[in-house]
Structure formats: structure tokens, C-alpha cells
Structure 1
Amino acid sequence: MNIVVSGGGTGGHIYPALALVREIKEKHKGTSFLYIGTENGLEKEIVPRENIPFKSIHITGFKRKISFENVKTVARFLKGVRDSKKMLKEFKADVVIGTGGYVSGPVVYAAAKLGIPCIVHEQNSVPGLTNKFLSRYANKVAVCFEDAVQYFPKEKTVLTGNPRASEVLHHEGKEGIQKLGLNPSVPTVLIFGGSRGARPINEAVLKVMTELRERPYQVLYVTGDVHYEQVKNEAQLAGNPDNVIIKPFLHNMPEILSGVDLAITRAGATTLAELTVLGIPSILIPSPYVTNNHQEKNARSLSDAGAATLIIEKDLSGNKLLAAIDSIISDKEKHTAMKEAARTLGVPDAAERLYNVITEITGKN
């Protein structure tokens, strides 16, 4: 089977696509893939490293206010559709999967116009403009949150989960945290704000750095590359406790997560997929700087189910964060209940579910 995948702009659109490709390659030999992205997106650097054939089109997003740039965007979209049709015909695509971002718009639309079965994959609880538009043309819409079903045609929407979640299950035990010098017999709290970090989270943690010394748990604190030197210096001034290990970035996050007892983080869809499938309780501080405030809505899907504690960024303080950590780590019954609640939201076989949708709409294995 020849499968085309398209998604770009952010890691949240790219990494689920790559996880799907890896899982299908491993379990269904003989499947061929083509990834269509943009020349100036993250996918241009990431996808070729995975040895996946990559082609690009030129496309930009619509401005949310009246602008002449939107006229240019329409022209780019139409050219992107023409270019995509040519690529799809040359590759002899059996199915096209769009995982979000501007680039998936012309690619999935082109597939629909050519009569090629296509799927839209929405990672967030609130969909973006591109996936809302494409849902009219796609054969199926795959979602990761039950909350997202209401935004799409009910008859074509299916809950599959996020393929990235399937990958973290390949790692078990506490070997990952041991490699970083952490004690596997002590509860571990992971604090991270994404690849670039999150200044408000860093500021809150630094304010209680001294108090962390007295806690019966250890902290793996990932600052983000751009904040690392400043945070490290301020932590040293506070006497950097022995039970707090500070890192700028983790390249092996799936391996680390398997040994974590509590996570403090933003509420990106991929992160939440990983936490729920592993059953990790969390304290979520959603970014308010995202489209449609979708991170807060993602977070509420977990907090409403009892899997997470939600702290809105404007309400965040060092003392509030510390109290939230203490209340979970010190209460075994609460911690266990949150773990179980998280697991009920996780979808461990997300990649296989998506593959089953593919076979359903193509009639091929």
C-alpha cells in the first residue's frame, strides 16, 4: 500500500505522523510512504532524518484579519493543490492522511478531488481551521479527545488516539531516570515546559527551589535550552538542592517518562497522549498563547476526569505549584486514583486503530 502523510508547522503535527509511519512500517511490511510538507517548516529537517521520502509545496496560513496576504494565500493554496495532485499521481497514492497544519490543507483537498481516500487526524480537543475545512472532504476524521467529536460530522468521526502514545509504551522501568543520576526508589517529579521551556513555570519553580530541598521526592527539572543558563545560575544562588537535577533538554523523553511519578507541564496534545497512556498523574499549566486556547481545553479533558490538576497560568505561583505537588505525592490514594483516571483516557493502540481506519476506507491491507 502507498500511504501519503502530510502535516507541519509544529511538532504536534509532525511527531504523530512520524510515529504512525514507524508503527506501520514495523507491523505491516511492504508499505511505502511519502511525506508532503513545506520547505521552511520543521518537517523539512525532521522527516528526512527518519529516511522517509519527502516532497514539499509552498503554502501559508490565512490571517485572521482582512489582509491582502490572504489573496496571496488563496493563490498559494490553489498552486499547492495542483502540485499535490501531481505528486499523488506519481506516487500512486492509495490513501492520504493529514495530521494538521497549513500544508495538509491542499494535500488532503487534492486527494479528495482525485477520488483518493483520505483521513484527517486531529490531535487537540478543539480543532484548527484547516482540519475543520478538510473534514467536509475527508472520508474519515480521527480524533484523540472525545471532546473533539462535536466539531466534526458524527458519521465519519472515530476516536483513534495519538500514534505517539503507542511509542512510549516501548519503554518500561526506571533505567532512564537512573542514567540521569536519580534514585529509582524515590518518587520522581518531572517539570518541563516543552522544547523551548516556559518562563512562567521556570519562575514559579525557582521561587520554591529552597523548599524543594526538604521534600521526600526528587525533581527532574527541564528548563528549555533558551532558559537553561539563567535558571542554573539562579538555582545555584538558592543552593541547588541535591534532590533537584536541572537539564536544558531531554532527547529521550519516552524513556524518561516510564520512570516518572508526576509530571508538571503544558498541555500540548502529544504530551497528554504520552502521559495518559502511561498513567502518569499531572499538574497542567496550559499555554494561553495558542489558537482557540486549545491547551486549556485539552487540560480540562484530563482535569475533569480526575487525571490532572489544572493551574491557569495567571494563577500560577511557586507556593501554589508546590502545594499541588505535595498534595499528590503525599497522598497515595489520590495518586493512585489519578493514575487510574489517566489510563482510562489513554489509547495504547492508537497507531493500529488508525491503520484499521486506513484499511476500512481503502479495502487494502
Structure 2
Amino acid sequence: MRLVLTGGGTGGHIYPALAIGREAAEHEPDSELLYIGTAKGLESRIVPPTDLPFESIDISGFRRSLSMENVRTIVRFLQGVRRSKELLRRFKPDIVVGTGGYVCGPVVYAASRLGIPTLIHEQNVVPGLTNKFLSRYASAVAVSFADSLPHFSRHRNVKHTGNPVASAVAKADKAKGFASLGLAPGTPFVLAVGGSRGAQAVNEAISAMLPGLADLDGIHFVFVTGERYFEQTQTRLAELPAAVKPRVHTLPYVHNMPEVLAAASLVVSRAGASSLAEITSLGVPAILIPSPNVTNNHQQPNAESLAAAGAAEMILEKDLNGESLLSAVTKIVRDPAKRERMARVSRSLGMPGAAAAIYEQMLQAMKRK
């Protein structure tokens, strides 16, 4: 298979694309892959170390208000389409897969104009502007959440596949997770993480609630602060009661997150699509705090989807403080039956076969050509 992957701007777009590429290579070891992104986007730093060939185009997103910048964006889009056509004619892909972000627009559109089969993958419940636009031209649409299906109701080939990053974590070894934290196997712990860079509002609430661990005997707390918040958090937590300190483990970053997540009894997390795919693939009960600082507030519908099913509790950031977070944590860790119900529902929502399902959908799109 000759496969072009495109997606950029955030890890939530890039890692699903890489997971799809790995799946294709596992099925067809002689596959040739090309990743098209932007030179300034996060993909330009994440993709090259994977040894995937990488090409770039220049593109930016539309502003939601009228401005001259939107005129320049249209010019960049047309130039991006021309550049994409050059790259596609040279590479001659069997299919082009886009996973979101502005860069997908010209690449997938160019492929459709050249008669190349295309598939787009939407990670969030509410589709982004780029995927809404591309759905009119794509051969196939894959979605992470069943709640996304109505947004693509006019498309003849849309499937609920799940998020392909779930496939990579499904077999995570929890024993390695406990060992990496220096905890005995089976130690109950709450994992709290505000994203790869951390989140100030989440960190402040966690710091404020930690003294309350004195009333949760035996429960450990693994607090992933993000590197920029680590030193100030350490200073603040130095004042914790002596009875609590040994049960609080602060880290700036976790490099083996799937293994640590697999070992956790409960996770406190933002509601990014990739994070939720990992959480449900492993069946971990969750307290979700959707970020209000993302485009179109897309994390809140993601969190609401899990909360409505019973796999998670949701706390909006405007309601977040040490007291509200401690209350939510306490209710779950003190109720094993509730925790088991949440885990069971979470696992039922998980789709560890997502990457394989998308690969099959790609094959179907290629056959229809």
C-alpha cells in the first residue's frame, strides 16, 4: 500500500495518523508511507523522528470573524492545493488519510480532485471546520464517537470506528506501570494529569485537595504536573501533612502513560479525544475536566458523552476547586461497586480494534475506486 497521511496542529491529530500508518504497515510490511504536514506545526517535530518521510505545505486556518487574514488564508489554501497535487502526483498514493487540522484541507481536497481515494478521521464528538468541509469530498469518514454520526448523516460511507490510538494502549502492562512509579503491584492510586504540558487550573485544584487525602487512608495520588508547573507545585506540596506526603507522587511528565494508566484505579484528566480513547480502551473510571480553552469547546461534548454513559464524572472548570474535586474523588474511591460499574461501562465504550477497523475501511474505499 502506498499511503499518504496528513494531520497537524496538535498531538490529537498527529498520533491517530501515526497509529493508522503503523496498522497499515503491520498488515502490509512493504507499504510506503508519506506524511504531509506544515513546517511550523507540531507534526514537524513529532513525525521526522519516526523515520516517516515528511513533506510540508504552507497553510493557516480561517478566523471566525471577517478579516483580511481570511483572504490570505484562501490564497494559501489554493497554493497548498497546487503543492499537494505536485506531491501526490510524485508519490502516487493508493489512498490519502486525513486526521484533522488545517493542513488536511488542501491535501485531502487535492487528492479528491485527482481521483485518489480519501478517508478522514474525526476524533471529537463535534467535528472541526476542516473535516466538515472535507466530508463533502472524502471517499470515507471514520469517527471516534457514535455521537458524531449525526454530524455526517449526509455521507454515504461513515463508520463509528473509534480512535486508532486506542489500539496502541490496549495491551499496556500494568505491572510495568506500578514498577515505574515505585509502587507495589495492586496499590490503589489516583492518576491526575492535565495534559502533556499540564494545566494551571487543574494543578491548583489538585494541590488544594491533596491535604484531604488524610481521610482516604491507603490511597496514593500520582500527580503529573507538566514540566513548566513542576517546581512551583513541589514548593507548594512541601507543606502537606506528614501523614499524606508519602502517598503523593509528583512527576513533571510520564513517558509510559499507557502502562501507568492501566495500573490506575481512577484518573483525573482533561477530555481530549486521544486521552479518552486510551482511558476507555483500558476501562479506567475517570473524572473529566474539559478544557474551556480549545477550539469550539470541543472537549466538553467529549466529556459529556462518557459522563452520560456512566463511565466518568464531569466537572466544568468554572466549578473546579479543591473541595469539588476531593468530593468527586472520595465518592468514587470509597465505593468499589461504583468504581467497578464505571470501569465496566468505560471498557464497553473502548474500541481497541479501532486502527484495524479504519484499515478495513481504507481497503473498501480503495476497492470502490
TM norm structure 2: 0.96
Letter in structure 2 aligned against 1:163? P
Mark the runs of 5 or more structure 2 residues left unpaired by the alignment: none
In structure 2, how many angstroms separate the alpha carbons of the residues matched to 1:211 and 1:72?
53
Cα offset for 1:33? 0.6
Corresponding residue of 1:62: 62
TM norm structure 1: 0.97
Corresponding residue of 2:270: 266
Cα offset for 1:328? 0.9
Corresponding residue of 1:156: 157
Letter in structure 1 aligned against 2:165? R
Letter in structure 2 aligned against 1:22? R
Corresponding residue of 1:285: 289
Letter in structure 2 aligned against 1:97? V
Corresponding residue of 2:169: 168
CA deviation digits over 1:320-359, x for unaligned, max 9?
1111111111111101110111011111101100000111
Cα offset for 1:143? 0.2
In structure 1, how many angstroms separate the alpha carbons of the residues matched to 2:99 and 2:266?
29
Cα contact 2:136–2:155 (8 A) shared by 1: no
Cα contact 1:171–1:255 (8 A) shared by 2: yes
Cα contact 1:305–1:341 (8 A) shared by 2: yes
Paired residues for 1:20-35 under 5 Å:
20-35=20-35
Corresponding residue of 2:310: 306
Corresponding residue of 2:352: 348
Cα offset for 1:129? 0.4
Paired residues for 1:12-51 under 5 Å:
12-51=12-51
Cα offset for 1:214? 4.0
SS at match of 2:47: helix
Cα contact 1:9–1:102 (8 A) shared by 2: yes
Between stretches 251-260 and 44-53, larger displacement belongs to 251-260
CA RMSD of aligned residues (A): 1.2
1:225 aligns with 2:227: yes
Cα offset for 1:74? 0.4
Corresponding residue of 2:8: 8
Letter in structure 2 aligned against 1:28? E
Corresponding residue of 1:71: 71
Letter in structure 2 aligned against 1:13? H
Cα offset for 1:175? 1.7
Cα offset for 1:209? 2.0
Q: 1:333 aligns with which of 337, 351, 358?
A: 337
In structure 1, how many angstroms separate the alpha carbons of the residues matched to 2:140 and 2:272?
23
In structure 1, how many angstroms separate the alpha carbons of the residues matched to 2:52 and 2:328?
43
Letter in structure 2 aligned against 1:305? A
In structure 2, how many angstroms separate the alpha carbons of the residues matched to 1:179 and 1:144?
30
Cα offset for 1:10? 0.4
Letter in structure 1 aligned against 2:238? Q
Letter in structure 2 aligned against 1:228? F
Corresponding residue of 2:144: 144
Letter in structure 1 aligned against 2:363? T
Cα offset for 1:14? 0.3
Paired residues for 1:171-210 under 5 Å:
171-210=172-211
| Count of equivalent residues | 364
In structure 1, how many angstroms separate the alpha carbons of the residues matched to 2:24 and 2:157?
22
Letter in structure 1 aligned against 2:88? L
Cα contact 1:182–1:218 (8 A) shared by 2: no
Cα offset for 1:19? 1.4
Between stretches 311-320 and 265-274, larger displacement belongs to 311-320
CA deviation digits over 1:106-152, x for unaligned, max 9?
00000000000001100000011000000000011100001111111
Cα offset for 1:25? 1.5
Cα contact 1:213–1:242 (8 A) shared by 2: no
Cα contact 1:100–1:121 (8 A) shared by 2: yes
Q: Tell me the percent identity.
A: 51
Letter in structure 1 aligned against 2:100? G
Cα contact 1:6–1:107 (8 A) shared by 2: yes
Between stretches 277-286 and 169-178, larger displacement belongs to 169-178
Letter in structure 2 aligned against 1:322? L
In structure 1, how many angstroms separate the alpha carbons of the residues matched to 2:232 and 2:21?
38
Letter in structure 2 aligned against 1:64? R
Cα offset for 1:293? 1.3
SS at match of 1:195: coil
In structure 2, how many angstroms separate the alpha carbons of the residues matched to 1:241 and 1:325?
18
Cα offset for 1:54? 0.4
Cα contact 1:124–1:148 (8 A) shared by 2: yes
SS at match of 2:174: coil
SS at match of 1:342: helix
Cα offset for 1:28? 2.3
In structure 2, how many angstroms separate the alpha carbons of the residues matched to 1:177 and 1:236?
24
Cα contact 1:142–1:159 (8 A) shared by 2: yes
In structure 2, how many angstroms separate the alpha carbons of the residues matched to 1:359 and 1:14?
21
Cα offset for 1:206? 1.2
Cα offset for 1:254? 1.3
Cα contact 2:174–2:260 (8 A) shared by 1: no
SS at match of 2:186: coil
Cα contact 2:135–2:155 (8 A) shared by 1: no
1:122 aligns with 2:126: no
Cα offset for 1:172? 2.2
